[in-house]
Structure 1
Amino acid sequence: MTPRSVIPRWRSAIVLLAACLLPSMSVSAGESPADMVLIPGGDTVIGSEHGLADERPVFAVTLPDFLLDKTPVTVAAFAEFVAGTGYITTAEQLGDSAVMQFGTGRWFLQPGAYWRYPLGPDGSEALADHPVTQVSWDDATAYCQAQGKRLPSEVEWEFAARSGHDGDVTYAFGDELFKEGDSLAKVWQANVWNGDFPMINTVEDGFATTSPVGHFGLSPAGLSDMAGNVWEWTADWYGGYEGRSGADDAPSDGNSKVQRGGSFLCDKNVCHGYRVSARSHSTPDSSLMHVGFRCARDVN
């Protein structure tokens, strides 16, 4: 977790005006936009008795059908949104955003870092088919609203990650982080930290930072990047699971918003954040180099 202290901020007026003119955030049963996956509703258990303290106690939920973006929102899609609305992100308004220094693990606010240059103006430009990062919860919400969508709830996100599996599962793609290839070499199934965090990244999975969305294939539910690559914002305020009794029992307020899915900075021996039940959180105005998002939609 690397939240920014809460700083007064303003939103882009054009996006706020557009939000009043949006299409419905739901679709009729049987409809499924090409960029979204239908997640059939049902029953599941949220959390893990074998996970960290904030993943316990587990609780049961029942959810209706809903739609979830097949991939995290890409740099190209976010660029199209910005071009069409004139939206100015939180990082651009504040003039900096959070970057981690490789080799030390130290986080700092990098002047000039934003979604086009997530490591700062001296770093590489973000690639079009990679997930957009350095977007705050406010930015993610504005984008989803402009598409007639919304951020998924934390429960929806975990439900989708578990979908397609019988019983409990460690990761959205199964129980093993890598499988053997034709040459018996490791074939990584997610973009995560390889090596000794934060000193050494061997980049065995092929990527030191973000990877193209979908590069590591799809989960049984038909979703990509539900483990590793980037943490993803959800709609919910962060809080403990004590007393939770269903899908609609999330905290009504708080200081930070929940993130799910882990990222390229997650090491199994440190955070193991790419498990289906793992959680992180940051303040809504935080923009970070390893956090993106995807959108959801109701089904009538």
Structure 2
Amino acid sequence: MIFFYACQQKKEDNAHETAAAIPDASCHGNIPTRPSGKGPAQRYAAAADVSHKNMVWIEGGEFWMGAADREGRPDEYPQHQVKVNGFWMDATEVTNAQFAAFVEATGYVTTAERAPDWEELRKQVPPGTPKPHDSLLVAASLVFVVPAQPVSLHNVSRWWSWRKGANWRQPQGPGSSIAGKENHPVVQVSWEDAAAYARWAGKRLPTEAEWEYAARGGQQREPHPWGDEDVEQGKPKANTWQGEFPVNDIGWDRYSGLAPVRSFAPNAFGLYDMAGNVWEWCADRYGPYPQSPLAGSSQAQPSMQRQVEERVLRGGSYLCHASYCKGYRVTARMHAFPDTSLEHTGFRCATSE
């Protein structure tokens, strides 16, 4: 998927808001990015021992990775055989309570809580892009805003908005809170934040192959962690969007917005929310699969040279709907810069030890 992001002043709604220029709308690739907030390296001691509490052991093996049907986007092909060794994986997405313990123990400051650094930002935008006004370079993150009326699905800026002060403690900005949501997945965390938590916990982020192998739960060809039944058939199986996206989530699955972890049945490996709820960061840099026709083509590369490589996200979120994307499919891929944080992005950890 080819796309790029550029900082610019919005001419509608608010002249001091950063907007994303994105040529094609798809949650598999075209999510807005945050101006980088890199700061001094944060050093801290890792947890003394790796705990396998609330983790699941997954026996290694071979499987066919990638889409076998016609539902996939170009970067999900070709299906290819991959072998993974046995590993432990968190049964759930990392929760607000778990992330809060990490922050309390280390004093870690997340990407969204740091003011953007123009020298880092300029690596991600087209050459010659002028420096944004200082009023734009403030600690902020992207929040989901329900449009007042139906909008084109080719303009994600109609439902994503930069909001000053939005971060993991205040996912929707000032006035919002995670109080009472300790068991919800932490969001507004970048790949850098997720990797920092994993190091502190003595773990790591799962590889993309490990993630898909785990999500399949031992199945080889089925498109979802639960099998081939459509997400809206039968009983609720995952936290996704029902109704008209992005203006009306009717909440047939009992949730409009994030759901607490373990709200739906686990897959055959005992893993929860491997579809829907929040997109999950993986360790891998994003790129085409081996033998993909995208390899080496202009479609596989950004439209400009970047000094920062994107990372893979998997699993879909509560915003996924068939009319817009089917990110809840086990082969669906999304990619973003490692300093990107959004209201529907989280993670879980893995370890080989």
* Class of the TM-score when normalised by the shorter of the 2 chains: 0.7 to 0.9
Choose from 60, 66, 82 the match for 1:47. 66
Q: Does residue 17 of structure 1 match 2:44? A: yes
* Structure 1 residues 179 and 9: CA distance shift in structure 2, 3 A: closer
CA contact (8 A) 1:177 1:190 kept: no
User: 1:116 maps to which residue?
Assistant: 169
Percent identity over paired residues: 44
Choose from 194, 202, 212 the match for 1:140. 194
* Structure 1 residues 176 and 132: CA distance shift in structure 2, 3 A: same
State the Cα deviation string for residues 148-194 of structure 1 (Å, max 9, x = none).
Answer: 000001111001011233x31111122224587xxxxx521000000
CA contact (8 A) 1:192 1:228 kept: yes
User: If each structure's strand is expressed as a fraction of its own residues, which one has the higher value?
Assistant: 1
How big is the shift at 1:243? Answer: 2.9
* Structure 1 residues 55 and 212: CA distance shift in structure 2, 3 A: same
For 1:36, the aligned partner's letter is M
State the Cα deviation string for residues 53-90 of structure 1 (Å, max 9, x = none).
Answer: 11011111011101100000000100111111111111
Equivalent residues in 2 for 1:126-165, closer than 5 Å: 127-165=181-219
* Structure 1 residues 12 and 255: CA distance shift in structure 2, 3 A: closer
3-state SS in 1 of match to 2:268: coil
State the Cα deviation string for residues 98-118 of structure 1 (Å, max 9, x = none).
Answer: 112112542121111111111
**2-side partners of 1:226 and 1:11: how far apart?**
34
The alignment's TM-score, normalised by the length of structure 1, stands at 0.86
Equivalent residues in 2 for 1:202-221, closer than 5 Å: 202-221=250-269
**1-side partners of 2:308 and 2:287: how far apart?**
8
Give 1 or 2 for the bigger CA radius of gyration. Answer: 2
* Structure 1 residues 134 and 5: CA distance shift in structure 2, 3 A: closer
CA RMSD of aligned residues (A): 2.2
For 2:333, the aligned partner's letter is R
CA contact (8 A) 2:34 2:142 kept: no
The alignment's TM-score, normalised by the length of structure 2, stands at 0.73
How big is the shift at 1:242? Answer: 4.0
User: 2:351 maps to which residue?
Assistant: 297
**1-side partners of 2:226 and 2:53: how far apart?**
21
* Structure 1 residues 179 and 289: CA distance shift in structure 2, 3 A: closer
**1-side partners of 2:103 and 2:255: how far apart?**
27
For 1:138, the aligned partner's letter is E
Q: How many aligned positions are there?
A: 276
For 2:182, the aligned partner's letter is A
State the Cα deviation string for residues 3-42 of structure 1 (Å, max 9, x = none).
Answer: 42552512553xx2325xx6577xxxxxx82211011100
For 1:108, the aligned partner's letter is S
What stretches of structure 1 of length at least 5 have no aligned partner? 26-31, 181-185, 245-250
Deviates more, 1:46-55 or 1:150-159: 46-55
Choose from 170, 180, 187 the match for 2:223. 170
CA contact (8 A) 1:177 1:188 kept: no
